[in-house]
Structure formats: structure tokens, C-alpha cells
Structure 1
Amino acid sequence: MKKTLLSLAILLAAASAQAQDSLTIRKIYDEALVNGQGYEKLRYLCKKIGPRLSGSANAQKAVEWGEKLMKDYGFDKVFLQEVMVPHWVRGAKEEGYIIDGNKRIPVPIAALGMSVATPKEGITASVIELHSLKELETLGEKAIKGKIVFFNRPFDPRFIETGEAYGTAGDQRFLGPAAAAKYGAVGVIVRSLTESIDDYPHTGGTDYTDGVKKIPGAAISTKAANKLSMMLKLRKFPQAKFYFKQSCQTLPDVKSYNVVGELTGTEHPNTFITVGGHLDSWDLAEGAHDDGTGIVQSAEVLRIFKAIGYRPKNSVRAVFFMNEENGHKGGLKYAELAVKNKEEHIAAIETDEGGFVPRGFSFEDISPDLLKKVNQNWKPLLEPYEADRLVKGGSGTDIGPLKESIPSIMLIGFTPDSQRYFDIHHTPNDVFENVHKRELELGSAAMASLIYLIDQHGLK
């Protein structure tokens, strides 16, 4: 009889907790959808500050704006973490031409982040079209030397999640210039990393290899890439030539900051749940989806908690990381200081896939048993809000270093609908007007809900 009564008491307690969780999550969504402030904060960040590449004057303005924002919200703690970041500048607008005999056909290009410049007069050379880094090795120096390598591997449209297509195509941008230089190439042109066929070149970082000559690299729009590829085929490869000119340079590192806001835990003040995005953006546009939406959503999580009167057991931090785009020095610094200050971090969520309608969350290195438990307990609570896709997967660049320093931490990626993200990613089209207010607010509420559940129940 005693055992039966105990079991009944446990079931009633669980049902009561589930009901309380459901009620709190409803409050979170009501606050986000009725009183959400992220959209107007994003408008200011995009329109009054604009592009904010690491090391730039606008990046510093964004730091000052972020610090003031969190102080105005009245978070328990607001502070800056100093970090040295790269300072790369694009310079004058790039020029690119397909050369067809006496014709010069202009095409849209954009220098890859951290690329070196061309000579002042630009580069003119024959073009060799490749679809993988492996082809460099297959063809060898004899075929590559003195040429501009044109990497033209498109997105694979069979992936449902477009981030997977980005992952399989991205090596030609990340590593292409360094790899081609080993075989004597004089420059590299990379097909923009998007499935969309348009005239927006997509910038993004590239990495050079120590001991190998640095050659300039630029992205070419997908429309222009198709045109260049067609001309190479018509001229029985490799007769067509290409010209490009860019004036970018890397200046000495600059002092910058992560911006951190905190609601201090009532029971475990030195145990942290972090939510964050990156404050820097590429220089071609306003950095609205990448990652202005992630910034304002992270701050909204803490604002929502304050607004509904929820005091977390553990300390909850919103972090505006600096320098995700071309070095992730902010993420490295945050992890370094977490260890130095002997902070216990149980979970970190990154929002860096745009401010589109939320679908759920991906949990990095989660065990099958824990994932099953998470779905059993939390999926029913998130399902009414269509943010209940709880799966094993990646997290984010900025929070990644925490795993190396704090192996027990759970890293989590916020996963909004991905279908439109790479249409505007790293392009001049990443502007405030392409963010949908309600979708942005739903994302803030989804992240606040998950953090509430982690705070209440842990992740074990």
C-alpha cells in the first residue's frame, strides 16, 4: 500500500510540474509575441550602425550599443570581455570581367574575407574550371600553374537542411585559394555558396596555409558562374580568360569586446546557461540575419524572463560574441575566461542560422538515452509552438570552444527553417527588410522556453 501511495505521489508531482512548465512556456510566448522588443532593436542595429566587421569603427559602435541595451534592460550584471580581433578591410569595390576576345563582360564578384589583394593593375589569366579540391591534385602543377582556378561546385539540392549543402560545398571557399596556390595558381574564383541563381556574390572567410604563397580569392555570383562555365565549355576549355582586381588588406589586430549580460541564479550563481550570437557581420550589408537576429533574440531571452517575473535557479547569460566571421576570437576568449574564473557551464545555445521560423534545436554529442528522455519530457511542451524538433546535431562556432574547456557542457544549436537563409547569407541582401517580425519573436520565445526547461530540470 505504501509503495502504491508513493508511486501515486510521484505521478501527481510530475503532472503538477508538467502543468507548471506548460503555464510558464505559455507566458514566455505571450510576452514575446505581444511585447517583443527584438525587432525594433534589430532595426536600430541594422539601420543606425549597419555593417560591423571585426576591427571596424562600426563594430565598436555595436559593442557600445549592446552594452547600453543590456544595462537599459536592467540585467543583474552587464560587462565586457576584452579580446584582440583581426582587422581586414575590403578597400575599393572589386572589378571582375570575363574576357571574350576583345569583349570584356562585367560580372559581380566580392573578395573573400582575409584574402590578399591582386596587384594594382589586377590579374588577367586563363581560367581552369574545377569542381573539387581533389582535382587540383589530379591535374597537378602542369595544368594549374599561371591560371585562375574557378571552383564551380554548386549546392547539392537533395539536402533538406540547406546547412548540409553549405557544409559540402564550403571547402572550395575556406581552403580553395591556399590549396590552388600550392600548384602555382595566380588567383581563385569561387562560385557563391547558395542554391539561389542570382547576381549577388557571397563573401565569407578563407584560410591560408603557412609557408604557401598567398593568392587572391573572390566569390562570383551564381549567374556569372553559370555564364563563365558555359563560355569555357563553348570555347573547348581553357581558352576563355578572366580579369579581376581587388584592393583588400589585413591591418594590425584591434582591441574589441564580447558583450555579456546576466541574470544571476538564485540557487546556483556560479552555474551558467549561455545563449548567444555574434555581434560582428560581413561588410557588404547590414548583417540582419547573420547575425543581428541572433543578437537581439539572445537579449530577448533575459528580457522575457524579467518581464514575466521568472528568476532562474542558475545564472543565465546573453553573450554578444565578437569576431565569429573571420577568426572566432570572441568564442575562444569566452571559453578561456570561463575556465580562468572557474565557472561551471551546464549548457550553451547558439543562434546563428537566421531569424526564420523556429523548428527546434540540435544537441551536440548527446547520448541516445538522454535524447530520448529530452524528447519524452520536453517535446510535448514545445509541440504546440512547432519548435519541437529535438535532434542530435551541431551547435555553433562561438560556443564550440567551451566543449574543449568544459567537457560536461551540452552545446545546442537553435534551428530555424533553413530554406531561405543561404539566399542572403554573406550578401548585400542581408538587410533588415528581409527579417519577419513574428518569426523573429517566435525564435526568442523558443529559446527562452528551452532555457527555462534546462534551468528547471537540468540535462542529465
Structure 2
Amino acid sequence: MKFLKSACLLFSLLAFLSVKSQTDENILKKIYTESLTNGKSYDWLNHLSNQIGSRLSGSLGAEKAVAYTKAELKKLGLDKVWLQPVLVPRWVRGAKEFAFIETAPGKTNKVNICALGGSIATPALGLKAKVVEVKTFEELEALGKENIEGKIVFYNRPMQADLIQTFDAYGGCVNQRYQGAIEASKYGAVGVVVRSMNLRLDDLPHTGSMTYEGVAVENRIPSAAISTNDANLLSTMLQLDSNIKFYFKQSCKQLKDVLSYNVIGQITGSEYPNEYMIVGGHLDSWDLGDGSHDDGAGVVQSMDVLRLLKASGIKPKRSIRVVLFMNEENGLRGGNKYASEAKQKGENHVFALESDAGGFTPRGFSFDCNDASFNQVLSWKPLFKPYLIHYFEKGGSGADVGPLKTETNVLAGLRPDSQRYFDHHHASNDTFDAVNKRELELGAATMTALVYLFDKYGVNPISNNTPIKN
């Protein structure tokens, strides 16, 4: 009799778990079906990219994007939509840059460059000097002032091609772009040219932010990116003749800070309205393309998460917010402002998901969380298997949600296939035609599924010392 009771209890438990799992499977299927057959993300991106275009912080495009996304969120019938003011930097590129390699007076090879974001201009007539090539700051130091003063420093460290995780390859060389001018100016360089952060060989220069932090205004030097093909050309020509000269001209400038906004929409939680879960991307972009992958894709996917929840009949227990951050590219002021205000108000952010790695096929997520919460995530992997989502790893989340980190909450980043991402990143080919509709919609559904599961089951606030059970 005792055995029979135990067997019945076990059967009932298994049946309960089966029904529970089946319910989640059905809801995820409903989410994916809605996104793939009735998704809004692609249409939103079409307008954002083709009707508004680039959205550099402080620009007219950024202002239009704020108005457009706020209006579209209002159409979704959310409980609340508002703008959060934030002061942002305003840097303008000016006229198109021009550059050439000079092998002898009158003998030149034109090359493709673009000013790095935040750079000063060259003199009005341009800048021409001999070139010294380095791959690291250590090489720069070894050469010393006697070999660098009065020259243009050419940073030519490529992204490491044998790293499968392309963001690791990017991280391994981006310091030459961001800090290159600071380091070169210490040795009397007159300018900096940086190999584009791109794994592909092409003729497109890739911009991105750089800094003069700690450098006196009179000692600042202009900084530009050169395409990968032209970086290889310049390197080869320097090997043949170290006396060749490089000329470039750019007219960019930094203006006064201007007022902009984070765009926020909310579905208020039915049971725990004071526990906040956010999903977001950054509304600003660089100015060479229209910012479709970086980060128009993340913006429209995040907007569609809230629409998909409503369309799938899901009534969240916790308050779900979409936050479209301003100024990720050259300041992170939007992310910092949101986190600062949240802290001032004592808001409890239990979960935050960011999409800022392009609109390619989703592979999974990386998680910044304690081991207990990560174990919970691993238990959901079978639910994602039918959608070929397999990547669940501990790691970084995103630059804009990072300031929200606490000891107990969960931060996550959507991880699409990244092999083609840096072909477009910060370049003129980051355009709408480079985004695949189905891949974009799969990403929106995948984000929604994770938000649904964390809202339903909550976050497990256990110590980081809890062992992971695989």
C-alpha cells in the first residue's frame, strides 16, 4: 500500500511537470509563430533605417528616431510610455575625408579613410607626414620620441582571425582605436591612422569612438580609420620604402552637449509591479550607414518583445520595460542615466536583456548572474532546442544594461551569429539591405521567450558560490 501511494505520488509529480513543460512549450511556439508570421520588427526597422537614417547622438536623425519610436510604442497600448531626458555629446563629421599615400612628389595612391568619432580636424589644408607603423603600444614605447616625433602613427593590429568568438577578436585590438591618439601624442606624433576593426578585406573604413582623456587641447592630434585593404597596401609600401608620406584631411568637430532622450515603454506587472524587467537596445548609431545592425535591430527587437507578450496573451507578473537607450556609441550617457535614476527611485531591477550584436540568426544568450540563476537557465535549454538556440554561457550582457548590475539580479545579452557582424559594424554598409527579415524576427521571438520564462519563474537570488549542476 505504501509502495502504491509512493508510485501514485511520483506519477502525479511527473504528470504535473509534463503539463508545466508542455504549457511552456506551447507558449514559446505561440511566441515564435506570432513573430515569424505577424512580426513588426522588420517594418519598424525599415522606417528607422530608410526614412530616418543615421542617428548619431545629438543629430536630427536621433531626434526623429526618439519621436518615431515613442509614437510606435504608444500604438501598442502599453500601460505607460515616456521620455527620459539625457544630455549627450554632439560630434559632427563635416565634409567627406580624403587621403592618399605619396611615394614621390606628384605620385600618389588614393586610400579610403574616415574620421574616428570624437577626433579633432586636421589643419584646413590637411596633414602630410612620414609614417611609422606599429601593432602595439609597447612597440610605440620601444621606438621612442626620436623615431615618432613629427610623424603619423599607423596602428596596424588586425582582428585575430582564428578566434571563433569575433567579439573577442574585436576586444583584442579596439584599444588602438580608442586610446591610440593618447599614446601617440606622448611621443610627438602629429596624427594617427588606425586599421579598421574588420575581419574582412574590403575598401570600407570603419569609424568608432576614440578619446583624448587627459590630453591637453593643444596636444590633441587627429585620428582616422583606414580600410583593411588600404591598411595592407600602406604596410606593404612602408616595407618597400620607409620614407613614403601619408596625407589626410578631415573637418570634424565637437560641439556643445545637447538634450536628448531615452525612450521607455512599460507593461505593469500583475503580481509584482515593483519588480522590473527590462529589454533594450541603443537608439543612436554612427553616421556612415543607417545603423540597421548597430543597433536598429536591437531597438526594434526590444520593441517587439512587448508587442509579442501582448499578442501571445501573456500577462506578466512583473513590470516589463523596453528601454531604447541614447548615446551608447560615444558616451553611454543613456545607460548611465537610466541606472542612476533607477537607483535614486529605489527601483528593483531583477532582470535586464540587451540586444546589441546585430540582427543575424540568434544562437542564444550570455548571462551575468549567480550560479543558481544560471542553473535555472540551463534547465530551460530543452525549450529552446526546437528553435536551434543552443548557446547558454556565462559572460557579458551589454554596455547599456551593465550599470544595473547587482549581486542578485540577472543581466543577459542576446548572442546572434557574429561571423559577419564586423563586416558592417560602424561602416557605410551597415544598412537595411544587410538585415534578413526572418533572422531579425527569430531574434525578437528568442528574446521574448527568455523574458517570459524569467517573469514566470523569477530570479534565484542565491550566492555565487552555489555549484553549477550540468
What range is the shorter-chain TM-score in?
over 0.9
| Alignment correspondent of 2:467 | none
Q: Separation in 1 of the partners of 2:282 and 2:170? A: 19
1:57-107 alpha-carbon deviations (Å, 9 max, x no partner): 111000000100100111111011000000000011111111110212111
2:138 counterpart of 1:137: no
Against the structure 1 CA distance between its residues 211 and 429, is the aligned structure 2 distance closer, same or farther, given a 3 Å change threshold? closer
Q: Offset of 1:388 from its aligned partner?
A: 2.6
Determine which of 246, 261, 265 is the counterpart of 1:261: 265
| Alignment correspondent of 2:465 | none
Aligned-partner SS, 1:283: coil
2:313 counterpart of 1:314: no
Q: Give the TM-score taking structure 2 as reference length.
A: 0.94
Q: Separation in 2 of the partners of 1:459 and 1:358? A: 23
Determine which of 44, 49, 53 is the counterpart of 1:46: 49
Which residue identity does 2:283 align to in structure 1?
Answer: L
Which residue identity does 1:381 align to in structure 2?
Answer: L
Q: Offset of 1:4 from its aligned partner?
A: 6.0
| Alignment correspondent of 2:365 | 361
2:390 counterpart of 1:384: no
| Alignment correspondent of 2:196 | 192
Q: What are the residue-to-residue correspondences of 1:299-338 with 2, within 5 Å?
A: 299-338=303-342
Which residue identity does 1:115 align to in structure 2?
Answer: S
Q: Is the 8 A contact 2:369 2:409 kept in 1?
A: no
| Alignment correspondent of 1:181 | 185
| Alignment correspondent of 2:409 | 409
| Alignment correspondent of 1:94 | 97
Aligned-partner SS, 2:446: helix
Which residue identity does 1:220 align to in structure 2?
Answer: I
Q: Offset of 1:14 from its aligned partner?
A: 2.5
Which residue identity does 2:130 align to in structure 1?
Answer: S
Q: Separation in 2 of the partners of 1:3 and 1:133? A: 69
Gapped regions of structure 1 (runs ≥ 5) = none
Q: Separation in 2 of the partners of 1:308 and 1:288? A: 27
Q: Separation in 1 of the partners of 2:10 and 2:423? A: 54
Aligned-partner SS, 1:280: coil
Determine which of 33, 36, 49 is the counterpart of 1:33: 36
1:329-380 alpha-carbon deviations (Å, 9 max, x no partner): 000011011111211111111100000000000002542x5434421x2000
Q: Offset of 1:307 from its aligned partner?
A: 0.8
Determine which of 68, 74, 77 is the counterpart of 1:74: 77
Q: Separation in 1 of the partners of 2:437 and 2:119? A: 35
| Alignment correspondent of 1:426 | 426
Q: Separation in 1 of the partners of 2:376 and 2:453? A: 13
Q: Separation in 2 of the partners of 1:372 and 1:383? A: 17
Which residue identity does 2:455 align to in structure 1?
Answer: D
1:367-396 alpha-carbon deviations (Å, 9 max, x no partner): 2x5434421x20000011012311011111
Aligned-partner SS, 2:380: helix
Aligned-partner SS, 2:284: coil
Structure 1 ranges of 4+ moved more than 6 A = none
Q: Separation in 2 of the partners of 1:334 and 1:9? A: 46
Q: Is the 8 A contact 1:366 1:392 kept in 2?
A: no
2:220 counterpart of 1:247: no
Q: Separation in 2 of the partners of 1:312 and 1:370? A: 19
Aligned-partner SS, 1:169: coil
Q: Is the 8 A contact 2:182 2:215 kept in 1?
A: no
Task: Work out the number of aligned pairs and report it.
Answer: 454
Q: What are the residue-to-residue correspondences of 1:152-231 with 2, within 5 Å?
A: 152-212=156-216, 213-231=219-237
Q: Separation in 1 of the partners of 2:63 and 2:51? A: 13
Q: Separation in 2 of the partners of 1:410 and 1:35? A: 30
Q: Offset of 1:432 from its aligned partner?
A: 0.4
Moved more, 302-311 or 5-14: 5-14
Aligned-partner SS, 1:155: coil
Which residue identity does 2:417 align to in structure 1?
Answer: D
Q: Is the 8 A contact 1:149 1:187 kept in 2?
A: yes
Q: Separation in 2 of the partners of 1:79 and 1:205? A: 29
Q: Offset of 1:6 from its aligned partner?
A: 5.0
2:379 counterpart of 1:394: no
Q: Is the 8 A contact 2:370 2:407 kept in 1?
A: no
1:5-55 alpha-carbon deviations (Å, 9 max, x no partner): 555544433222211111100000010001011101100001110011000
Aligned-partner SS, 1:26: helix
| Alignment correspondent of 2:441 | 441
Q: Separation in 2 of the partners of 1:15 and 1:244? A: 66
Q: Separation in 2 of the partners of 1:171 and 1:228? A: 21
1:276-333 alpha-carbon deviations (Å, 9 max, x no partner): 0000000111100000010000000000111111110011111110000000100001
Q: Is the 8 A contact 2:127 2:248 kept in 1?
A: yes
Q: Is the 8 A contact 2:409 2:459 kept in 1?
A: no
Which residue identity does 2:62 align to in structure 1?
Answer: A
Q: Is the 8 A contact 2:373 2:410 kept in 1?
A: no
2:26 counterpart of 1:20: no
